[in-house]
Amino acid sequence: MESLGARSIVFVGLMGAGKTAIGRKVAAALSLPFIDSDHEIEAVSRMTIPELFERYGETEFRALEQRVILRLLENGPQVLSTGGGAYMNAQTREAISAHGVPVWLKADLDLLMERVSKKQNRPLLKNDDPRGVLKRLMDERYPVYALAEVTVVTRDERKETIAAEVIEALCRHLGVARASAHGETGR
């Protein structure tokens, strides 16, 4: 997808939206490297995300997340999956817009609950009412996620289908006629 230039495709959205799974499929389809910012944060800190939250708190974690994402954005073009709270930081959001195309994977509450309930590594959901927390996060974050240049509704559908919809939406956004299976633009 030449029209990206050096920019990255940056997935934003709540935990469970499928940013990593769909991001990997999009990266493979476009022959771009895939990076997960949470994995990079764990690699540089030599700690898991839950350990970082527990030891340093959310504020320190967000500062580290911001530094890691700013560094990663220098390496485009690539597909970058970000943590659910990353796009809430104004400087991170500006950097993503300057060096990438933000893609919001928008999901409904039932789908997110179904997906996140399968994993125990969600520091923000460690309480008595995870559904309530997720609903509150949606209320807080969805208006900010809506600032993303591209929005794709994700649902209980094959990853390949959602990935193809993301690529189509990116093509429309970038003014590219269409993408072939290999990610090259149609002539």
- In this structure, is the dihedral angle defined by the CA atoms of residues 115, 107, 29 and 78, taken in order, positive or negative? negative
Q: How is the beta sheet containing 8-12 ordered, strand by strand? A: 34-36, 79-81, 8-12, 100-106, 150-153
Position 94 in a domain: yes
Task: Look at the chain and report how many structural domains it folds into.
Answer: 1
- For residue 164, the enclosing domain spans 2-174
Q: What is the pTM of this model?
A: 0.89
Position 186 in a domain: no
Over the stretch 51-96, which tens digit does the pLDDT of each residue have?
998 999 988 999 999 999 999 999 989 999 999 999 999 999 999 9
Distance (Å, rounded) from C-alpha 187 to C-alpha 183? Answer: 12
CATH value at residue 69: 3.40.50.300
Over the stretch 2-26, which tens digit does the pLDDT of each residue have?
888 889 999 999 988 999 999 999 9
